[in-house]
Amino acid sequence: KSDIWAIGVILYQLISQKRNPTPLHTICNNKTEMNKIKNELNKHILGPLVWDMLNVNPSKRPTANALLESLSIL
Q: So what's the pLDDT on residue 20?
A: 65
- When pLDDT is averaged across residues 55-67 and rounded to a whole number, the result is 92
Given a contact cutoff of 8 angstroms between Cβ atoms, the answer to whether 53 and 10 are in contact is: no
The verdict on pTM exceeding 0.95 is no
Confidence of residue 62 (pLDDT cuts 50, 70, 90): very high
**What does the pLDDT look like over 26-60, one tens digit per residue?**
667 677 878 888 888 889 999 999 999 988 889 99
User: What b/e readout covers 20-35, taking b as 16+ CB neighbours within 10 angstroms?
Assistant: eeeebeeeeeeeeebe
Residue 21 has pLDDT above 70, yes or no: no
Q: Which amino acid is at 71?
A: L
